[in-house]
Amino acid sequence: MTANRSALDQIHMQIQWNRLLSVVEEQAQTLVRTAFSTSAREAGDISAGVFDVQGRMLAQAVTGTPGHVNAMAASVGFFLETYPIDTMAEGDVFITNDPWKGTGHLNDFTVVTPTFLDGRPVGLFACTTHVVDVGGRGFGPDGRQVYEEGINVPIMRLATAGEVDRGLLHLIGVNVRNPVEVEGDIYSLMACNEVGGRRLVDMMREFGLADLDELGRHIIDSSRAGMLEEIRKLPKGTWSNSMRVDGFESPIDLVGTLTVTDDGIEVDFAGTSGTSTYGINVPLTYTQAYASFGVRCVIGGAVPNNAGSLGAVRVTAPEGTILNAPHPSAVAARHVTGQMLPDVVLGCLNQIIPGRVPAEGTSCLWNPVLLGGHGVADGDYGKSRPFAMNTFHAGGTGARPGKDGLNATAFPSGVRNTPVEVNETIAPLIFWRKEYRTDSGGPGTHRGGVGQIMEIAHADGAPFAMNCMFDRVIHAPRGRNGGHDGTAGKLTLASGPSFRGKGRQTIPAGDSIVIEMPGGGGLGDPAGRDRAQLAIDVRDGFVSVEQAKAVYGWDAATATAGDD
């Protein structure tokens, strides 16, 4: 059909497509600007997109995370199975945080809203955000079944004909530790879809569109064709890669097999470890989201992300593995496992296109959940203010082809670090240190990104708890193609004792927790590193003089760091 259109028609279609992208970006920015919780407002842990009436994603906002966006792309189909489009009316809004029909754990609420033009449904807007609390044990990996992890809202109506279900909001509010923030975020989700719907109607009236059928076909067909064009440049065949990560009760082996055909790329995780008895299991939609993102990082990255391009990458995992955990497995910390999958996929691609693939990085977020209040931590909490806070932080990424890794930057999630100043305003905590971690980036021709060190204490000297969901504490990010491994993470009390990488643990009264985040792996032989760049690393404290001499063979007497 595309070939039969005139050049002018093609231009009109592209203008409409670009306008649709601006619509979903305004949708996402509305959510960020109106959100109550720091996870959305500061870290940008959200997603937003527009779908046709069949539930196919036509456009996604740039603002957001791959786990939310790509899992949400599948989630809308589940909404339509429960509430077919012809049963929806203007003013209806639908909601769920079902991990297997949403984006992987209970802390993520997904809201879907139909948009009508002249009384007819023409599209659907969907959005997701991570809320600060859903009750239960709190955001952490200690649960043994999903029932322990918080309130589970099935796919249901949040509003009917514009009337919000106050009973549902009340039910959610009395089950969470931060009812104002959670309810506020749910209203923000509704608001951003409403803005998206209004802008879509404005766009359709401006271009004289009665529906999105033709534009949707153009977007999906063009994107699929563009993705397949990139895939067909690769050699055909099958490649495998495995990666061992810390796990909880025992290490986990993530095993991926990638097959390239003329019809797309298939990724299968047969051979991966079975489900955990703790909350680090991953529903399949989240596995598919991050595995497909790993492919898209280096194959077809310029092709817009929608149902067409996503359909060219097919991801499977046997049920019962940790990457396709069945209900009622505990899944609260599914990100700590699922965010490792791009590294597994990239390890396969490195065997095909080694000059285009980065080294392994910290990958999973280092986002401590900090809690205070009666019964939360061991010891007497006294009269200090109770709190529950989720703060987002990251270690270093793996070195990139032709470039060093990014320091203290979240990849693959893309969320931002939460500012210390904001954290200290919403909880009685003091962040005594936040600094780069010298020598944590793996040496290489291109150095891995360095991690960071944070030290946190209670402002009143009271005990408090930390839900630890950290990986790469035992198994460090690996270098590629001659690059060295990054440095593993480390958790210690200022008084000396070490913490485990996972599970709720208490910071005693008067003590503080020191969190040392991993660095990314290096890429290429360290002997090939530019000497002037190495001198800058030493000057800036990313690499110590000792490591520069021992690993890179650095001669301080002849080194110059330049003026930049």
Position 28 scores a pLDDT of 96
Contacts of 247 (CB under 8 A, 6+ apart): 273, 276, 280
* Residue among 244, 27, 247 nearest 124 (CA): 27
- pLDDT top residue among 165 and 555: 165
Q: For 328-348, what is each residue's pLDDT tens digit?
A: 999 999 999 999 999 999 999
Q: What pLDDT, in 10s, does the model give residues 248-301?
A: 999 999 999 999 999 999 999 999 999 999 999 999 999 999 999 999 999 999
Q: What is the pLDDT of residue 562?
A: 52
Q: How confident is the model at residue 323 (pLDDT cuts 50, 70, 90)?
A: very high
**pLDDT value at position 10?**
85
Distance CA 484, CA 482 (A): 7
pLDDT at 557: 66
Confidence of residue 69 (pLDDT cuts 50, 70, 90): confident
For the chain, the average pLDDT equals: 95
Residues ≥6 apart with Cβ < 8 Å to 176? 131, 133, 134, 135, 150, 151, 182
Task: For residue 385, give every residue at least 6 positions away whose Cβ sits within 8 Å of its Cβ, in sequence order, or none.
Answer: 372, 428
pLDDT digits (tens, 9 = 90+) for 135-171: 999 999 999 999 999 999 999 999 999 999 999 999 9
Has residue 444 got a pLDDT over 70? yes
Query: 390-419 pLDDT, tens per residue?
Result: 999 999 999 999 999 999 999 999 999 999
Going by C-alpha positions, the residue among 86, 106, 87 that lies closest to residue 96 is: 106
Distance, first Cα to last Cα, the chain: 54
What is the number of residues in the chain?
A: 564
pLDDT reading at 564 higher than 90 = no
For 230-245, give one letter per residue: b (16+ CB within 10 A) or e: bbeeeeeeebbbebeb
State both tokens at 75: 């989630």
Rounded mean pLDDT, 61-81: 91
Note the pLDDT of residue 4.
Answer: 62
pLDDT per residue over 452-502, tens digit each?
999 999 999 999 999 999 999 999 999 999 999 999 999 999 999 999 999
Say if residues 457 and 561 touch (Cβ distance below 8 Å).
no
Predicted pLDDT at 370: 96
pLDDT, position 70:
86
25 Cβ contact list (under 8 Å, min separation 6):
48, 61, 62, 63
Whether 25 shows a pLDDT value over 90: the answer reads: yes
Kindly tell me if the per-residue pLDDT of 195 is higher than 50.
yes
The mean pLDDT value for 218-244 works out to 97
Quote the CA–CA distance of 269 and 322 in Å, as a whole number: 10
Poorest-confidence range of 61-75, 150-164, 175-189, 196-210?
61-75
CA 415 to chain centre: 7
The pair of structure tokens assigned to 150 is 């918080």
Question: Looking at residues 29-48, what average pLDDT do you find?
Answer: 94
Q: Would you state the pLDDT for residue 67?
A: 87
Closest CA to 362 of 328, 385, 339: 339
